[in-house]
Every structure is written in C-alpha cells, then in structure tokens.
Amino acid sequence: MSNPLLDTSSLPRFMEISPEHVMPALTELIAAHRQKLDQLLMATPEPDFDSLVAPLEEMGHELARVWSPVSHLQGVLGSGAWRDAYNSALPLLTEHGTELAQNVPLQQAYAAVGKALDATAGPAKRSVVDQALRDFRLAGVDLPDAAKSRFRQIMQQLAATQAAFEHNVQDASDAWSLHIADEKELAGLAPQIIERAAAEARKRDRQGMLLTLDYPTYDAIMRQADNRRLREAMYRAWVTRGSEHGEHPQWDNSANIELILALRHEAAQLVGFRNYADYSLATKMAQSTAEVLEFLRELASRSRAAAEKELSNLSEFAGRTLAPWDIAYSLEKFKQKKHSISNEELRRYFPAQKTVAGLFKLAERLYGVRLEAQDNVARWHEDVRYYRVRDEAGALIGGFYTDLHARTGKRTGAWVDECVGRKNLNGQPTLPVGYLVCNFPPLDDRGRSLLTHDDVVTLFHEFGHMLHQLLTRVDYPSISGINGVPWDAVELPSQFMENFAWNFEVLEMCSGHVDSGKPLERELFDKLEGSRNVGAGLAMLRQLEFALFDFRLHAEYDLAKGSRVLQILAEVREEVSLLQPPDYNRMPHSFTHIFAGGYAAGYYSYKWAEVLAADAFGAFEEAGIFDQATAKRFRSEILEIGGSRDIMQAYIAFRGRKPKIDALLAHNGII
C-alpha cells in the first residue's frame, strides 16, 4: 500500500508516515466512505443493526485510525509541516462529520433500527443507536437547509479557530526564554534544573543559563526559586501566554476567544438550546445549568473557611502579604518546616522508570493484567516506549505508547488519547491501543528523569484513563473505552487512580532511591501523608474558579455584549477567590482545556468526577486497598462498560448507592 496512513492492518508506521500523506489519505478514505454509505442506504430499505449500524461503526473506526496519528503527531513533534497538514485536513474532516450527522435518510434509518430493536438486543446496541440519534439532533439534522448550511460553516470555523488558539499558546510558550548570567539568581533550585538551563543555553550557543516555559521548569521556579523577582517574571510569562500582554503579542488569542464563544452560542441556538452550556449538558450526567452551578457553589462555600485558614497561616509563616507567585514557594517551605519534607527530597525516590514499573505491578495486583515492553514497534521519538497488555490468562488485550518527557514543540500538559479503538463486529476483534503523554523532566546525561510526588500523581491519573481505554469489554467503537462516556464521568477512573499514589505499599513498589535503590521509607511517607492536604482548600477554590468561569462564560453569553471574558472572570474571582491576581493576568488566553480541548462548559467535570472518585475509593478503604472482590467489581461495573450503560446506574451497581459530596471534602481534609 503506497500511503502508509491507509494501512490499518497494524500499528501506525510512524517512521514512514509524513505530512504529505495526510490529505491524499483522508480524501481517498472519505470518498470511499461516502460511496459505501450511499450503497448501504440504497440496499437496505428495512435496515437492522447488522446491515446498517455495524458497517457505519466499521467506517467510523477506520477513519479514526487514519486520523489518530495525524492529530497525535502535530501535538508531540513541534513540526511546522505536521501542524500545516493537520490544519489543512481539519476542514475536510469536520465537513465529513457534520455531513454524516445532518444526513436525514441516515437519521431515519437509525430511527427505524431503534424501533426494531427488541429486549434481546442488549444495552450496548441500544446505547449505540440512542447516542447516534442524540448526535443527529445535536448537529441539526431536522433544521431547514439554510440553517443546516450555517451550522456546517460554524463547525468549520470552530475547528480552525480552536486549533489556532492552541497553536498560539504553543508558539508563545516556545518563543519565550529568560537568560540568566549569574547562577546566584537561581538560588534554591535543584541542581538538575540549573544544569538543564545551562544545557539549553549551550544548545543555543549562549553562555550562562536559559530558562524556558516548559512546565517542569516553570513548576520548579515557582516552588523552589528563592529569588522573588525571578518567580514573578516566570509567573508573568506564564499567565500572559497567548495574550496582548505577552512578550509575543502576535499570538494574542483575544479575537479567537470572541469568535469561539460567538460560534458556539450560535450553533447551540440553531439546534434549539438557550446557550452552549445547555447544549453541552445534553451529553453529560448533570441535568441542568442550575444543578452545575449549585454543585460548584456548594463546594466553594464548604471549602472557603479551610482556604481562609490556610492563607492566613501561610501569610503568617511567610511574614508578608502573599502574591500569586509566592503561594507555591511558601507552601513548599511550609511543608519543609512543618513536615520536614520537600519535593526535591522525594524526587530522589522516584526515577521515572522505577515508578512506571511499580505502577504496572499495581495494575497487575488490582486487575490481573500484565504489562510488558515491546521494542520492535515504530515510534515517533527516541523517548517513546510501547507496552503490550495481557489478561490473567496471558491473552493479549491491548497496548499503549508512553511519551513521558518534556521537549520544545511538544504540547504542554498530560493526556491520554486513542490510537486504536476496540472493535469486534465480525468475529475478528481489534484490540485497543492508546497514547499516554506527559511532560516530566527530560532525561539527564545519565538517562534519568526524577519525578516529584506531584508528577507521580499525574502519572497515576493518566494511567487511570489508559486502563479505562484498555479494559473495555464493549465491541462497538463509538461506545468502547472512553467513547460514549458522559464527559463529567470520564475523569472518574483517572482521579480514582490518584488515590493509590498516596498509599505506602503502592509507593514502596513505585520508588527506589536514585543512589541506593532503596524504596521510600515509612518515616518519609508519613511526612508526605501529613503534608497531603496542605493547601488543599486553596487548590479547591482555584479549580472552582476555573470551573465557574468556564460555565458562566458559556451559560451567560450574549451576542450584543460579547464574551465579557474579563468581567466574568473578575466576578468569579470576587465570589470564590482569596487571592486577586495582577491586572495583566490573562489566564483565559491560554486556557486550552475550554478553548481548544473538550472541556467547554465542562471544566466542572473534574470536580464532579472527583466526587465520584473519592467516594469510589472509599469502597477500597473500607474493604482493603487491594481487595480483589472490590477491584473486580470496579472493573466490571466502571472500567469495562464504556458508554454502554447509564453511568449513575453503573456507579450504584458498584457502590450500592449514589456518591456523596462529603467524600471529596474528607479526602481533601476540608471536613
């Protein structure tokens, strides 16, 4: 096969795929799918699930496999050519998706299949059809032709503008650097951070040290740097990325924000919703905007006293009124003073390779799966590893790539995405494969990357997503793994897994001192556990600030008034925040979760799912952290079901009741 992107018989051939393959592959495949769809609709006057829905599932799966490496590579390689290829392909892909979702004969065929399904069909088939019918409605299948056309135009503009938003943030981050001539200015920083800055300077033929805006460097400066002016400079660079106040205002996202919000609002109203927040909730657990706002405000109200006490204690400890660039630093010093522990001390116990190996042992102990490295797999970078996953009987059930270390051009943050979705429509199953991506410190000259405990928690979080993807038992791609799961429940498995990173037996498996190889000592763990909830109230309010801002922004949008982005942000901060940031703060301009990711009017999902996760972990605390019956029940009722069941009913089947908000507050030490 001449175009390697079209070869879906194996894992992506990363070393052979190039940007030039993207448009020809997608053009050819979409044309073939259009022809096949026409044939299906003509050949099946009385369609059933097997004659219509199953072939559509096959086509969706094939297109997703071709698009997956394109979307992935443009985010991890920092290649202008890959970005151009991605941006060129977005209109074609978006047009095709909307075209399918607005296809009236196809919608009518699905409706006929839905009516014909009887009780023996099973919940998975019913869910596939019901979710498809919902998506037809959300895409405006019943609209007049002119309105349909406008909806398609909006989807095209949105895809392009959201991509531009993300690229502006990436470009602004990559372009920024701060030259440090005197190492004394970096007092307090760990040696590996200073050496990395020196190496960055050498790479650019400069003397001294060069700080960049990759997250490991930013986080280290904010936590460790004694130089307050340096922390402020780093903070200012971080919170002005993609804005008119940044060093590179050519990547200002102000216009993109206005356009994104206007387009979302118009699209929502076209298909009968008051606003985009209501539109967003059509695919979530939460039933109304009032329910979401009440949930967030209850959490804020019940967390405020704890946060106020924390800030008071922290200010007294620091001996000054704290600015935003002082908080992480003061918290770190406070933990060192009160609990005799620091992130840098802990980092010595968590070489990335050892932590990953211990995490795999945990998965084996909980769920019986075995994870083993496979070297003869094409990769996109030398840091990438591939792992096969086998079940208790040794049968292969899937695999995943890891790309754990930060580098220039790579998208910031941590995420899991689908490479290949699980499918079994014809007796020949396709096994799930995923990408697990983080931005941990790059390997040093001895091939080591030392993780903070926060990094360990992040790794556990993303691995929870990966288990959700890999352990699915659903055969239909549109609802297997994470697909088809309400967005405010997607974070349940990931936030649930974070709790294991606070268990001594687990951390024993996941640690080995970089010099001695000895696992984390009980005394040090006790100090870590004692520091767990330091700053938890402040952290809670910070996340609630983001969630309320996002939700109000979409729920209250008024075309005549525009986004009012800074006004709404100021009102939210006045309502829930204890720290007021400087006027130049432009947090929204780099808020990729809501302006370029899948969390628009859905950032509340993190806290919503965190309630589920804390309550679910309570079952393990009650039965025993490694209790096999509890783990088996969590796997079968939550991890395996994809989008095939109502998630609240599935949760009740696992826990025996609905979740309680007090579980989250207790886990955070707030009550």
Q: List the catalytic residues.
A: 462
Alpha-carbon gap, residue 541 to 139, rounded angstroms: 35
- Backbone angle region of 562, left / alpha / beta, with phi > 0 → left and psi within -120 to 50 → alpha: left
Helix, strand or coil, per DSSP, at residue 485: coil
Helix, strand or coil, per DSSP, at residue 605: helix
Alpha-carbon gap, residue 216 to 406, rounded angstroms: 8
Residue-wise over 523-547: b if at least 16 C-beta within 10 A, else e? ebbebbeebeebbbbbbbbbbbbbb
Alpha-carbon gap, residue 315 to 157, rounded angstroms: 47
Under 8 Å between Cβ of 130 and 145: no
| 490 to 237, 284, 382, 575, 589: CA distances (angstroms) | 32, 10, 30, 28, 25
β-strand pairing of 415-420 with 433-440 = antiparallel
Q: For residue 389, what is the DSSP state?
A: E
CA 589 to chain centre: 18
Q: Which two tokens stand for residue 13?
A: 């051939």
Alpha-carbon gap, residue 66 to 28, rounded angstroms: 11
Sequence-separated (6 or more) residues with CB below 8 Å from residue 620: 499, 627, 630, 631, 634
- Classify residue 71 as exposed, middle or buried by CB count within 10 Å of its CB (0-12, 13-18, 19+): middle
Under 8 Å between Cβ of 556 and 352: no
Alpha-carbon gap, residue 413 to 321, rounded angstroms: 30
- Backbone angle region of 481, left / alpha / beta, with phi > 0 → left and psi within -120 to 50 → alpha: left
CA-CA-CA-CA torsion sign (374, 378, 379, 382): positive
Helix, strand or coil, per DSSP, at residue 371: strand
Helix, strand or coil, per DSSP, at residue 275: coil
Sequence-separated (6 or more) residues with CB below 8 Å from residue 61: 421, 423, 430, 477
